[in-house]
Amino acid sequence: MEITLNSEHAIAIIDDSSSVRRALESLLRSLGFAVLSFESAEAFLTSPLALDTSCVVTDVEMPGLTGIDLYEKMRSDKNETPVIFITANSEQKVRQRLGDEPCVLNKPFEVDELADCINRAIATS
Protein backbone atom coordinates (compact mmCIF):
# COMPACT_ATOMS: atom_id res chain seq x y z
CA MET A 1 0.00 0.00 0.00
CA GLU A 2 1.53 3.29 -1.09
CA ILE A 3 0.60 6.23 1.11
CA THR A 4 0.66 9.69 -0.40
CA LEU A 5 2.53 12.17 1.78
CA ASN A 6 1.33 15.60 0.80
CA SER A 7 0.62 18.46 3.17
CA GLU A 8 -0.86 20.39 0.23
CA HIS A 9 -4.01 18.37 0.80
CA ALA A 10 -6.13 19.45 3.75
CA ILE A 11 -8.38 16.76 5.15
CA ALA A 12 -11.42 17.85 7.17
CA ILE A 13 -12.39 15.60 10.07
CA ILE A 14 -15.95 15.94 11.30
CA ASP A 15 -16.95 13.94 14.38
CA ASP A 16 -18.84 14.82 17.55
CA SER A 17 -16.41 12.69 19.61
CA SER A 18 -13.33 14.68 20.62
CA SER A 19 -11.33 11.48 21.18
CA VAL A 20 -12.09 10.24 17.65
CA ARG A 21 -11.17 13.65 16.22
CA ARG A 22 -7.86 13.70 18.11
CA ALA A 23 -6.99 10.15 17.03
CA LEU A 24 -7.79 10.87 13.38
CA GLU A 25 -5.90 14.19 13.50
CA SER A 26 -2.81 12.44 14.83
CA LEU A 27 -3.07 9.62 12.31
CA LEU A 28 -3.58 11.87 9.29
CA ARG A 29 -0.79 14.25 10.32
CA SER A 30 1.54 11.26 10.66
CA LEU A 31 0.64 10.41 7.05
CA GLY A 32 1.66 13.91 5.98
CA PHE A 33 -1.73 15.55 5.55
CA ALA A 34 -2.79 18.96 6.79
CA VAL A 35 -5.83 18.48 9.04
CA LEU A 36 -8.85 20.64 9.84
CA SER A 37 -11.05 19.41 12.68
CA PHE A 38 -14.73 20.17 13.33
CA GLU A 39 -17.08 18.94 16.07
CA SER A 40 -20.18 19.13 13.87
CA ALA A 41 -21.34 19.31 10.28
CA GLU A 42 -22.74 22.75 11.02
CA ALA A 43 -19.32 24.00 12.22
CA PHE A 44 -17.74 22.69 9.02
CA LEU A 45 -20.35 24.24 6.73
CA THR A 46 -20.01 27.68 8.33
CA SER A 47 -16.20 27.68 8.34
CA PRO A 48 -14.40 29.62 5.61
CA LEU A 49 -11.78 26.85 5.73
CA ALA A 50 -14.32 24.33 4.43
CA LEU A 51 -13.68 25.47 0.88
CA ASP A 52 -9.96 24.65 1.21
CA THR A 53 -10.38 20.94 1.89
CA SER A 54 -9.34 18.17 -0.48
CA CYS A 55 -11.40 15.52 1.29
CA VAL A 56 -13.88 15.22 4.17
CA VAL A 57 -13.83 12.35 6.68
CA THR A 58 -17.09 12.38 8.64
CA ASP A 59 -18.91 10.26 11.16
CA VAL A 60 -22.33 9.13 9.97
CA GLU A 61 -24.23 9.49 13.25
CA MET A 62 -23.94 12.92 14.88
CA PRO A 63 -26.35 15.25 16.65
CA GLY A 64 -27.86 17.86 14.36
CA LEU A 65 -26.82 17.27 10.76
CA THR A 66 -25.63 13.71 10.24
CA GLY A 67 -22.76 12.82 7.95
CA ILE A 68 -25.28 11.81 5.29
CA ASP A 69 -27.12 15.14 5.70
CA LEU A 70 -23.77 16.91 5.29
CA TYR A 71 -22.99 14.98 2.11
CA GLU A 72 -26.41 15.78 0.63
CA LYS A 73 -26.08 19.47 1.58
CA MET A 74 -22.62 19.67 0.00
CA ARG A 75 -23.88 18.11 -3.23
CA SER A 76 -26.96 20.37 -3.35
CA ASP A 77 -24.56 23.34 -2.96
CA LYS A 78 -22.51 21.98 -5.90
CA ASN A 79 -19.60 21.17 -3.58
CA GLU A 80 -17.98 18.06 -5.08
CA THR A 81 -15.33 17.60 -2.37
CA PRO A 82 -14.95 13.83 -1.82
CA VAL A 83 -16.52 12.52 1.40
CA ILE A 84 -15.45 9.45 3.36
CA PHE A 85 -17.88 8.09 5.95
CA ILE A 86 -16.93 6.32 9.17
CA THR A 87 -19.61 4.46 11.06
CA ALA A 88 -20.08 2.15 14.00
CA ASN A 89 -23.29 0.94 12.36
CA SER A 90 -23.76 -1.10 9.24
CA GLU A 91 -22.25 0.33 6.09
CA GLN A 92 -25.34 -1.06 4.35
CA LYS A 93 -27.48 1.75 5.80
CA VAL A 94 -25.24 4.35 4.17
CA ARG A 95 -25.10 2.47 0.88
CA GLN A 96 -28.91 2.19 0.76
CA ARG A 97 -29.16 5.97 0.92
CA LEU A 98 -26.14 7.03 -1.15
CA GLY A 99 -25.20 4.11 -3.39
CA ASP A 100 -21.67 2.91 -3.99
CA GLU A 101 -19.98 6.26 -4.71
CA PRO A 102 -18.65 7.30 -1.31
CA CYS A 103 -16.09 5.34 0.65
CA VAL A 104 -17.61 3.91 3.85
CA LEU A 105 -15.45 2.52 6.66
CA ASN A 106 -16.82 0.52 9.57
CA LYS A 107 -15.30 1.30 12.97
CA PRO A 108 -12.79 0.05 13.86
CA PHE A 109 -10.93 0.31 10.57
CA GLU A 110 -7.32 -0.19 9.52
CA VAL A 111 -4.98 2.72 8.78
CA ASP A 112 -4.39 1.35 5.28
CA GLU A 113 -8.13 1.35 4.58
CA LEU A 114 -8.45 5.02 5.47
CA ALA A 115 -5.27 5.98 3.61
CA ASP A 116 -6.49 4.11 0.52
CA CYS A 117 -9.87 5.88 0.62
CA ILE A 118 -8.21 9.29 1.01
CA ASN A 119 -5.70 8.66 -1.77
CA ARG A 120 -8.47 7.53 -4.15
CA ALA A 121 -10.63 10.52 -3.19
CA ILE A 122 -7.82 13.01 -3.76
CA ALA A 123 -6.85 11.38 -7.07
CA THR A 124 -10.39 11.75 -8.41
CA SER A 125 -11.02 15.29 -7.18
pLDDT tens digits for range 44-57: 999 998 888 999 99
pLDDT over 60 at 23, yes or no? yes
Contact status, residue 89 vs residue 68, Cβ threshold 8 Å: no
pLDDT over 50 at 9, yes or no? yes
pLDDT over 60 at 121, yes or no? yes
Q: What is the pLDDT of residue 107?
A: 86
What is the rounded distance in angstroms from the CA atom of residue 16 to the CA atom of residue 64?
10
Annotation: CATH topology of 10-124: Rossmann fold (3.40.50)
Beta strands, E only, the chain: 10-14, 34-38, 55-59, 83-87, 103-106
Q: How many CB atoms neighbour CB 54 within 10 A? A: 18
Q: What is the pLDDT of residue 89?
A: 78
CA atoms within 13 A on the CB side of 49: 17
* pTM, to two decimals: 0.89
Rounded mean pLDDT, 29-51? 94
